[in-house]
Amino acid sequence: MSDAQSEKTPGLSADEEQEVSLNQPPRAAVLHEIIRYQGDQELERTLAALWWSALAAGLSMGLSLMAMGLFYARLPEGDSAQVIASIGYSAGFLAVILARQQLFTENTLTAVLPVMTAPTLANFGRLLRLWSVVLLGNLAGTLLVAWVMLELPIFDSKTDVAFLEVGRKVMMNDVSQMFAKGIVSGWMIATMVWMIPSMEHAKIWIILMITYLMALGDFTHIVVGSVEVSYLVWAGDETWSSFWLEFALPTLAGNIIGGSFIFGLISHAQVRSDSGKPPSRLLKEDQPPSPRRDNGNK
C-alpha cells in the first residue's frame, strides 16, 4: 500500500472518496486557465464592443462617488464616517463587474495572461489595442458622469460639498504617493479577479471586501479616482494639468505595475513552475477527466 493510500481516513466509501475529490478547491493552473481564457475572449472583441462597454463602465463608476458623497453628507464628522462611507466605494465596482462591463484595472490581469502565455508581437498588439480603447472609454465615462453630477440639479448642497471633499482627499497625495498607492490598488484588483472564479457563489462578498479595503486605505484607482478628481476640475477647484500630471499618470502607472507586472507575473510564474509546461496545456495534459454526471436521461 502506498503512503498516500495509508494516510487516507479509513472507512470512506467509493462515493464518499469521489465527493472528497469533487469538493477540492481548483488548482492554481485551473484558475490561471479560466482567467487566461476570459482574457483571450476580451482580446478578440471588436473595437465598438470594447468602447461602448468601457464607456458604460466609466459611467457606472460614478456610483462610487455618488454613494460615498451621500454617506458623508448624512454622517457626523470624524474617523467613523470614513469607516461607514467607504462601503459606498464598492457600489461602482459591483455594478461594473456584475454587469460584465470593461474595467481597465480588471484587464491588467485578464488580458495580460494570454500575452504571458504566448508572448508574441501579435498578442502584444492585441493587448495595447484593448488597453487603449478600454482606458479611453473608462475615462470618457468618468468625465461625463462627474460633469452631470455637478451641473444637473440632482443633489443638495451638502452632498455637493461632500463630493468635493472626497476629491480633495485624493489630491492631498503627492505624485509618489499616487504611484505607490496605485500599485497596491492594482494588486488588490488583480487579487479579486483571481479569487472570483474559485468562489463564484461569493462573488459579491469578494468584491465588497476588496474594494472596501481599498477605500479604507485611501489607495488610488485610475477609474474611480477620475470621477473624484474630474469633479474638482469641473467645479474649478483643480486644473486639467494637475488632473493628468499629478493624478492620472502616476496612478495609471501604479495600477498597471501592481496588477500586471507584480501579481500577473508572479501568478503566471507559479503556475508555469508547477510542471514546466505552458499554463494553457496544464488542464489538457495534467487534469484527470471530469466524472460524468447523471442528468436523468437514459
Rounded Cα gap, residues 151 and 271, in angstroms: 50
Helical segments of the chain, H only: 3-6, 14-22, 28-43, 47-60, 62-73, 79-85, 90-98, 104-110, 112-117, 121-151, 157-171, 175-195, 203-216, 222-234, 240-242, 249-256, 265-275, 279-286
In 10 A of CB 120, how many CB atoms? Answer: 10
Alpha carbon of 208 to those of 62, 101, 212: distances in Å?
A: 16, 17, 6
Structural domain contains residue 284: no
At 285, the pLDDT band (50, 70, 90 cuts) reads very low
- Per-residue pLDDT of 200-245, as tens digits, reads 889 999 999 999 999 999 999 999 999 999 999 999 999 999 999 9
Residue type for 31, please?
L
Tell me: the pLDDT tens digits for 178-199? Answer: 999 999 999 999 999 989 988 8
| Residue 295 pLDDT > 70 | no
Query: Would you say the C-alpha torsion 112, 108, 261, 191 has a positive or negative sign?
Result: negative
At 199 the pLDDT is 86
Q: Can you tell me the mean pLDDT for 93-98?
A: 96
**Cβ contact 105:222 at 8 Å:** yes
In a domain, 118, yes or no: yes
pTM: 0.83
Does residue 297 belong to any structural domain of this protein? no
Distance, CA of 35 to CA of 33 (rounded, Å): 5
Q: Has residue 286 been placed in a domain?
A: no
- CATH at residue 62: 1.20.1080.10
Mean pLDDT for the chain overall: 87
Q: Is residue 132 part of a domain?
A: yes
Q: Which domain holds residue 188?
A: 26-278
Does a structural domain hold residue 139? yes
Q: Is 228 contained in some domain?
A: yes
Please state the domain count of the chain: 1
Q: How far apart are CA 188 and CA 190, in angstroms?
A: 5
Retrieve residue 137's grid coordinates. 472609454
Residue 296 lies in a domain: no
